[in-house]
């Protein structure tokens, strides 16, 4: 049996779009020493494929990091299956705050070097010596303390659409980038300030809190379950919600609304907007914020260059894309500035009949 889906993604997306099946979007992580993540991966795929699970799951020798969706009718069966693995028994499941059931369209389980690309050598410090977990109420109490520094451990495209009031939001592209930058920013407060961290679901803070304690920070706290659990608990318990805007998520939704506040702007016209999208040009896929008017004006593209590019016949587009290394980081803004010139030049050469 094939352990991956070979059906064209456009077909799968259309099928999901038309489906009336109720699905739940869930995320979880767990650090655990796995001897053979490859074997576990194969077993997991066979089990979850039968349950209709879609999602993106990363396995490594250090554990698992999972974002997935499961048919609501199979949720209890999925949970029983998950908890049947001893080291995952009772693991916290973060259920999406705002969910239309369209978060993932296929099941993808990959084995990686690490479940989180942090750039750290885990052998140089005790990764189990983590910061103190706090719930929504504990987070709010610390946030109101003038001796607290609130740190957003996410990337700039995430914090741009939503963050906690008063939080430091480093202008970084990756979690790996953020650690040394944050350390430099708060170096002088190792002894006298509370370091209160948060992220989407908690996994980045698990590693970051241990790292900062290793670096000498004395009072390190982290929001348990991240923004997702905080928003859920704030609603259930009637706790003041100190988060404003949207919570960026790494699935087809690209965001779930926490409050009605819109704190960002369309990257093309400057209008208030917090709708992330990826440029539809297959040679670009740049992540950016686009309002409805600009989506219509640019045909869902990030620029005139990409709009012109997708207007070309498909075969010409394929020819022009040859030799262009896009990489896999579609969440990095600003990359198009370097790429656009290449495509513009190629298009001009094509029009002039010059062969590349």
State phi, psi for 47 to the nearest 5 degrees: -70, -45
Q: Are strands 276-278 and 287-289 parallel, antiparallel or unpaired?
A: antiparallel
* Cβ neighbour number for residue 165 with a 10 Å cutoff: 10
Closest CA to 98 of 254, 302, 287: 254
| Bridge partners, residue 276, by sequence | 289
CB 243 within 8 A of CB 227: yes
- State yes or no: is 199 an active-site residue: yes
Closest CA to 45 of 77, 88, 3, 89: 3
Q: Are strands 54-60 and 107-111 parallel, antiparallel or unpaired?
A: parallel
Q: Which residues of 254-270 are buried (b: 16+ CB within 10 A; e: fewer)?
A: bbbbbeeebebebbbee
Closest CA to 199 of 180, 225, 177: 225
Residue 290 and residue 97: Cα distance in Å, rounded? Answer: 23
Residue 210 and residue 197: Cα distance in Å, rounded? Answer: 12
Q: List the structure tokens of 174.
A: 């990756």
- Of 199, 205, 279, 284, the catalytic one is 199
* Cβ neighbour number for residue 27 with a 10 Å cutoff: 27
Residue 104 and residue 110: Cα distance in Å, rounded? Answer: 15
Residue 47 and residue 51: Cα distance in Å, rounded? Answer: 7
Closest CA to 40 of 61, 68, 25, 26: 61
Q: Which residue numbers are catalytic?
A: 199
């Amino acid at each position: 049996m094939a352990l991956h889906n070979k059906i064209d993604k456009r077909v799968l997306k259309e099928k999901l779009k038309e489906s009336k099946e109720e699905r739940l979007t869930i995320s979880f992580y767990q650090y655990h020493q796995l001897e053979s993540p490859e074997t576990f991966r194969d077993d997991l795929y066979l089990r979850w494929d039968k349950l209709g699970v879609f999602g993106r799951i990363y396995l490594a020798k250090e554990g698992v990091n999972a974002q997935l969706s499961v048919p609501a009718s199979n949720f209890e069966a999925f949970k029983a299956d998950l908890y049947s693995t001893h080291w995952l028994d009772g693991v916290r499941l973060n259920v999406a705050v705002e969910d239309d059931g369209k978060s993932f369209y296929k099941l993808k389980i990959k084995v990686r070097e690490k479940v989180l690309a942090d750039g750290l050598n885990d052998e140089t410090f005790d990764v189990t010596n983590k910061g103190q977990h706090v719930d929504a109420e504990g987070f709010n109490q610390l946030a109101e303390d003038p001796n607290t520094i609130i740190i957003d451990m996410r990337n700039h495209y995430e914090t741009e659409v939503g963050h906690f009031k008063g939080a430091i939001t480093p202008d970084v592209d990756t979690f790996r980038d953020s650690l040394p930058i944050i350390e430099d920013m708060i170096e002088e407060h190792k002894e006298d300030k509370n370091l209160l961290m948060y992220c989407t679901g908690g996994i980045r803070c698990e590693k970051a809190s241990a790292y900062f304690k290793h670096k000498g920070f004395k009072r390190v706290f982290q929001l348990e379950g991240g923004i997702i659990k905080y928003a859920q608990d704030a609603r259930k318990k009637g706790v003041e919600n100190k988060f404003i805007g949207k919570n960026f998520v790494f699935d087809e939704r690209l965001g779930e609304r926490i409050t009605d506040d819109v704190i960002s702007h369309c990257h093309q016209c400057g209008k208030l907007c917090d709708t992330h999208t990826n440029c539809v040009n297959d040679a670009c896929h740049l992540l950016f914020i686009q309002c409805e008017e600009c989506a219509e004006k640019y045909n869902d593209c990030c620029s005139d260059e990409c709009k012109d590019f997708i207007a070309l016949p498909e075969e010409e587009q394929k020819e022009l894309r040859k030799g262009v290394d896009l990489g896999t980081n579609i969440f990095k803004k600003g990359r198009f500035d370097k790429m656009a010139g290449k495509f513009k030049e190629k298009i001009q050469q094509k029009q002039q009949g010059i062969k590349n």
